[in-house]
Amino acid sequence: MDSSDKKLPKMDSCVNVEREVDKVLSKFAAVGDHSSRTLQDLVEHISNIRKELSEGNNDSDVTATQSLVLNQCLKKVKDTCQRLSNDHKDLHSSVSKVGKAIDRNFIQDISACSVEGAFVGVEKRSLLNEVICEHFFRQGMLDIGEQLIQDARLQIDEAQKEPFFELNRILEALKEHNLFPALEWAKRNRERLQQQSSALEFKLHRLHFIELLKGGPARQMEALLYSRNFEPFAYHHAKEIQTLMGSLLYVQQGVHNSPYLHLLDPIHWLDICDVFTRDACQLLGLSVESPLSVAFAAGCISLPSLLNINHVMKQRQCTNVWNQKDELPIEIDLGGETRYHSIFACPILRQQTTETNPPVRLVCGHVISRDALNKLNTNNKVKCPYCPMEQNAVDARPVQF
Ligand SMILES: [Zn+2]
């Protein structure tokens, strides 16, 4: 199905809802017109009566005719109010029709695309709550996370929370251009950061140096002294250190008027937050993105396609195609950012390989699954289904991705 096909139903839905909205709007206008005209007439009528009454003799009692006129007027006011209130009620029903039109045209039953019982049961629900809680901690919403722990009676020990607390504290400081908590953390974890070839500590020192440069001649000496901190990084960052030292020559005339202007770019502050998050998460064995937001985003991307395919399957009455609910009926591309690890689907058996059924490389270079190899194997001889080279089944080697 191409994209223009997908747009059509949505466009229809918009038109349907718009039709109801137009009805409501014209009704609003008509009722508004009518009621203001009626009220105006009524006001005129009443002021005429008042005028007539005041022109009469104030001392005498109300005459029988006057009393009749007044009673009639009173009735007219009551009737008009009743009619206006009925019109108003009528408007309500038109407005609620718009709501129903939206429900009918936009809100689809997504239960067909969900796995039954995915969140049913105490254990699963508590797992879901834990994931939500971790998400809050990750986003720095610590008090909301704590509240959820209490309300959902979760068992999360302090040691599990601490890394998030610390990362958030450091990140908050970095956002306020305070490098020290991050520097202190990086020094504490220097060895492990180096093992994962992180440039975090160097970049933090560099930013501090740049801040000193911004201080002009008054802080030139301080900057020069601080440059000693670059020493442990000389091997990996020689070129960048040279650039930083070169910038010292321009402190007198102002670095912003020099070829070293790029050092002052505020983007370095944004960059350091990213570098810190990425490297610290890697060191702590956490994923950089919150698993919950990644899963949610993936669901949002794939839902329209799944609803579409579900619709088509219902139309063609082949709903049983999708009874293997832990497997999607179609392949959905979520884009490169959500690709985390490679999987291999056997081209012969069309199954994803597993640890017990790993991919194997044949002598000719073609790769199939172990199960497929076993099926093709006759007396230890295998004919590659692709090239088709004859070979010994035992020569096939497992492949790691
Ligand atoms: Zn082959």
Question: What secondary structure does DSSP assign to 320-334, as a single string?
Answer: GGG--TTS-SS----
**Rounded Cα gap, residues 314 and 281, in angstroms:** 44
DSSP state of 378: B
Distances (CA, A) of 324 to 121, 328, 332, 350: 21, 8, 16, 14
Cα of 398 to ligand 1 centre, how many Å?
Answer: 15
- Chain centroid to CA 117: how far? 24
Give pLDDT, residue 191.
Answer: 92
Range list of β-strands (E), 188-327 = none
Question: What homologous superfamily is domain 341-401 in, according to CATH?
Answer: Zinc/RING finger domain, C3HC4 (zinc finger) (3.30.40.10)
Cα of 382 to ligand 1 centre, how many Å?
Answer: 10
Cα of 224 to ligand 1 centre, how many Å?
Answer: 64
Among 230, 257, 225, 254, residue whose Cα is nearest residue 243: 230
Cα of 363 to ligand 1 centre, how many Å?
Answer: 7
pLDDT below 70 — which residues of the chain? 1-10, 57-60, 107-108, 319-327
**Rounded Cα gap, residues 104 and 101, in angstroms:** 5
Percent of the chain topping pLDDT 70? 93
Q: In the chain, where are the structural domains located?
A: 3-106, 190-284, 291-317, 341-401
Pairing of strands 397-398, 359-361: antiparallel
Among 343, 378, 351, 383, residue whose Cα is nearest residue 366: 383
Give yes or no for a contact between 256 and 104, defined as CB atoms under 8 angstroms apart.
Answer: no
Question: Which positions ≥6 away from 142 have C-beta within 8 Å?
Answer: 136, 164, 165, 168
How many CB atoms sit inside 10 A of residue 189's CB? Answer: 19
Cα of 374 to ligand 1 centre, how many Å?
Answer: 15
Give pLDDT, residue 10.
Answer: 66
Task: Write out the residues surrounding ion ligand 1, Cβ under 5 A.
Answer: 364, 366, 384, 386-387, 389
**Rounded Cα gap, residues 351 and 203, in angstroms:** 46
**Rounded Cα gap, residues 275 and 200, in angstroms:** 6
Cα of 259 to ligand 1 centre, how many Å?
Answer: 58
Cα of 283 to ligand 1 centre, how many Å?
Answer: 42
Cα of 392 to ligand 1 centre, how many Å?
Answer: 12
Helices (H), 56-177: 64-105, 122-138, 142-151, 158-175
**Rounded Cα gap, residues 173 and 180, in angstroms:** 8
**Rounded Cα gap, residues 47 and 160, in angstroms:** 78
- Chain centroid to CA 161: how far? 23
Cα of 394 to ligand 1 centre, how many Å?
Answer: 15
Cα of 372 to ligand 1 centre, how many Å?
Answer: 13
For residue 302 the two structure tokens come to: 């794939």
SS3 of 359, please?
strand
For Cα atoms 29, 30, 36, give the angle at the middle one, nearest 5 degrees: 90
Cα of 358 to ligand 1 centre, how many Å?
Answer: 17
Element (H, E) at 381: strand 381-383
